[in-house]
A and B are shown apart, each in its own frame.
Chain A
Amino acid sequence: MNADVVKATDASKKPAAVAVSRTALTVNGQLRQLELDPRTSLLDALREHLHLTGTKKGCDHGQCGACTILVNGRRINSCLTLAVMHDRDEVVTIEGLGAPEALHPLQAAFIERDAFQCGYCTPGHICSAIGMLAEAKAGWPSHVTPDVASGQIALSDAEIRERMSGNICRCAAYPNIVAAIRDVAGGVSQ
């Protein structure tokens, strides 16, 4: 519990009248204490207060997926949730997944498959893919699963595309993104 308390004033000029909420987040395995204007999105808490800028802000409205992170093991849009709502939750961002000398398999696959151009959407894609692969492993169906009652999911390219539709790549690296995820999934390709 020796984590530093990061003050809201570190990153924003908030009006003095705004109440501040104390929030504790476990981010990439480390407990972080924050004092935040309750309006602070989880995305802004990560980027502007904890200075973890790997998670990207694209649309800030849940439409592009660039801000995708894992909370308690599930992928969510960090722009569309308040940091104060995640007190004591376990957050994993792109910074928590691998290091340059020890890449996460999805990071390595994205490089191997050249699955990006500008790279802005890549952290969101990788976090989303981790969540997506866990969902498929748990047998969750998707919109393109022929029989939703079936417990077995074969991750075809069509399944990968549907399940990743919440992540937009404006450079349109989609074919290589699907290939990279397919490599890691070890799934059935079409």
Chain B
Amino acid sequence: MKAFTYERVIDPRAAGAAVSRAGAKFISGGTNLLDLMKLEIEQPTHVVDISRLPLKQIEGLPDGGIRIGAQATNSDVAADPRVRAHYPALAEALLAGASGQLRNKASIGGNLLQRTRCPYFYDTAAACNKRTPEAGCAALLGINRIHAILAASDACIATNPSDMAVAMSAFDAQIELLDPNQSTRHVAIDDFYIAPGSTPHIETLLRPGEMVTAVTLPPPPPGRQRYRKVRDRASYEFALVSVAVIVAVDRETITAARVAFGSVAHKPWRSKDAEAVLKGRPATLATYQAAADAAMRGAVGQGHNDFKIELAKRTLCRTLAETAQINRGPS
């Protein structure tokens, strides 16, 4: 690990100035950043510890939504009774990620900003445009079984590894950002992540010195929720494909639907195309298949990951069928 100086900030208003120094980075849970610093993929020269900022609260909002402080741990949010009762797909997504130990440390803000687990990003002997701009992409001709099938570019086919962000995307989460001048802005999670294009090292629209302070979820939409994760191991493994669905059914007809996929793109992949197909249609397998086809229209495999296109479709169909079935009740 490269040497760095350490500073702890205890006032959110001081964070932006502290991190504006050249080579500075925030650290919160550290579960991703320190992993990357040990490998010298990340080499901050100044580390600003924001883990003790008073940004851990999970608060119900007057409109029925919820505001989750960026320094709340993944564990705290997954265990929160309001999250479990009203946003169960978020609790399920958090609990599908990492291990008990990591969830106790990892923060909500850090989860949003975690880096890809592309093995070529991690392998400092391999070419990676995300790690070293213009270096090339070893994954394109490498073993790309886990890589993106949507919105990738010929510069980068890495995926966003977060489970949590997939559920948040289905809930229309807003990310709250504080800049060094103490002004706050909100960005929809769907807009937060930037497509790789020719600059895959630019991953989000965070501006220099900005810090994630909270994530706000509007009131939960009607219907049953489910987060399903498909992976090589039953636990403690990143997804090959995951899906968050929220579906409401009235007398065999789908009245509202939300669909988001994980591990298929550089960001949690909200599919409004699938949602448009589902709404107003009968809750049948034919409808789910039409939605799955709409969701994966334009999907492109890289060879080893061609199976993910079909896997994503089947995962969506099965999850919709289960969720709509429960929703219809015993009649």
| In the complex, A54 has a CB within 8 A of chain B | no
By a CB distance below 8 angstroms, the chain A residues around B79 are: 135, 138-141
Interface size on A, residues (CB 8 A): 46
A contacts with B: majority SS: loop
Alpha-carbon separation in the docked complex, A131 to B79 (Å) = 14
Contact A68 B101 (CB under 8 A): yes
Contact A60 B95 (CB under 8 A): no
B68 to nearest A CB, angstroms?
16
Alpha-carbon separation in the docked complex, A139 to B85 (Å) = 13
Contact A143 B96 (CB under 8 A): yes
| In the complex, A19 has a CB within 8 A of chain B | yes
Contact B88 A148 (CB under 8 A): yes
| In the complex, A182 has a CB within 8 A of chain B | no
Contact A76 B104 (CB under 8 A): yes
Alpha-carbon separation in the docked complex, A32 to B27 (Å) = 24
Given contacts A138-B79, A141-B91, contact A165 B99 (CB under 8 A): yes
Interface residue ranges, B against A (CB under 8 Å) = 1, 3-6, 8, 27, 29-31, 34-35, 38, 47, 49, 51, 75, 78-79, 81, 84-85, 88, 91-92, 95-96, 98-102, 104-105, 234-236
Instruction: Given contact pairs A138-B79, A145-B95, enumerate 15 new A-B contacts (beta carbons under 8 Å).
Output: A18-B3, A19-B6, A37-B3, A76-B105, A80-B30, A80-B34, A85-B27, A85-B30, A142-B95, A143-B92, A147-B88, A149-B84, A162-B235, A166-B100, A166-B102
| 19 CB < 8 A contacts A-B | A61-B35, A61-B38, A62-B101, A65-B99, A76-B104, A77-B102, A80-B34, A81-B34, A81-B105, A82-B47, A84-B6, A84-B49, A128-B100, A140-B79, A141-B91, A141-B95, A163-B100, A165-B99, A166-B99
